[in-house]
Amino acid sequence: MWNLFQPKASRSRGRRRGDQIWLFLLFLGVVGYLVWDAYLRPIPPVYKASGGLELYFAPEQGRAAKGRLIGLIGAAQNRIEVAALELEDREIGQALVQAAARGVRVRMLNDSDYRRETHESLGVSSSSPARCETLQRIQVCYDSRPNALMHHKFVVVDDLGVWTGSTNLTWNAFERNNENSLWLPVPGLVQVYRAEFEALFAGQENGLGRSARFQIGSTLGAVYFSPAGGQKARNAILELLGRAQREIWVAAYVLTDTRIVEALVKAHRRGVQVRVVIDARNLSNSRDETLKQASIDVRKDGNPYTMHHKIIVVDGEWVITGSYNFTNSGFGRNNENLLILRDSTLAQRYKREVEAVWRAGTRL
């Protein structure tokens, strides 16, 4: 009531100060909630597993990785969902056919550019132009968008876990290319990936884009889906790069996202050691010149086939991986899944892989 006796100008200034304080408190509340939601919110038990994470690097461990995937398919009892850019491996194809023959419900989503490879891998002949068809008791649908890729590489097995990473389901991917594959045995992740698959399979071709946090042993993780959740995925990458303090290692099949390139340059300028290796075939499409102009040590890879990684390792503690290429299409058009993992032991394994690829490359 005392402000009634103040001059009007004074009361106006007081109200403005009060409004500013309330806006500031509101801002703090919003930021606090976002931090809590992203990092401090308890992870529900269904998104936790005591252990069992598996990591494979091809080509050195490519045969072991494919053998493990075929074993998982062979052990399935109820259902398998496959979302893969392409299926061009007859061993994996026949494992899926055998699973379907013994009564497992097998469904698969591929990019429409790879119908022929799917038919050959499943041992069938078909000229159907339909979006969906049944092949060897397997329900197969194809993405129909003309300017985007169904770029996932994941397999969901029963309620046991999710197989994902950079590795296409092709012979070359396991035998020749630089790739990484993960087995994530978390029931909650099964639910998240399966929900994304169900939407895509039903024709909702941008997906759901629901992110989720999870934990496997000491490994903390988050998963994001593009394009519906692509901006959130991209922001998570940029935030992590913005917090880097010591070092960033990048192995990129292609690198065209200017925001990510800018974040790498800014990190380098504030004293973070940044090292980048890019697939030699994609240099003409990537922004390696911007990195070189900033005096960042960037190399083209030395694999005569394909360096297909999409890996960033930050400060020996954080790993970014998945099917997500570091491009505008990666967050804006294509179907992708991005994983951000926090575990120093796991990060060191990824760092050794990226460093080996980087050292085998040629400085630009």
Q: Vertex 362, ends 298 and 248: CA angle to 5°?
A: 30
> Annotated catalytic residue: which of 152, 300, 310, 351?
310
Whether 309 sits among the annotated catalytic residues: the reply is no
> Annotated catalytic residue: which of 48, 266, 297, 315?
315
Instruction: Give how far Cα 30 sits from Cα of 34, 222, 235, 243, Å.
Output: 6, 21, 17, 20
Which region holds residue 63: left if phi is over 0, alpha if psi is between -120 and 50, else beta? alpha
Q: Give 359's contacts (C-beta < 8 A, 6+ positions apart).
A: none
Give how far the C-alpha of residue 317 lies from the chain's centroid of Cα atoms, to the nearest Å.
17
Q: Give 352's contacts (C-beta < 8 A, 6+ positions apart).
A: none
What the block records as the tokens of 24 is 């500031």
**Using CA atoms, how far apart are residues 322 and 337, in angstroms rounded to an integer?**
6
**Using CA atoms, how far apart are residues 143 and 156, in angstroms rounded to an integer?**
18
Whether 310 sits among the annotated catalytic residues: the reply is yes
**Using CA atoms, how far apart are residues 196 and 150, in angstroms rounded to an integer?**
12
What the block records as the tokens of 85 is 């850019």
Strands 336-342, 153-157: pairing is unpaired
Whether 315 sits among the annotated catalytic residues: the reply is yes
> Annotated catalytic residue: which of 152, 153, 300, 308?
308
* Residues designated catalytic: 308, 310, 315
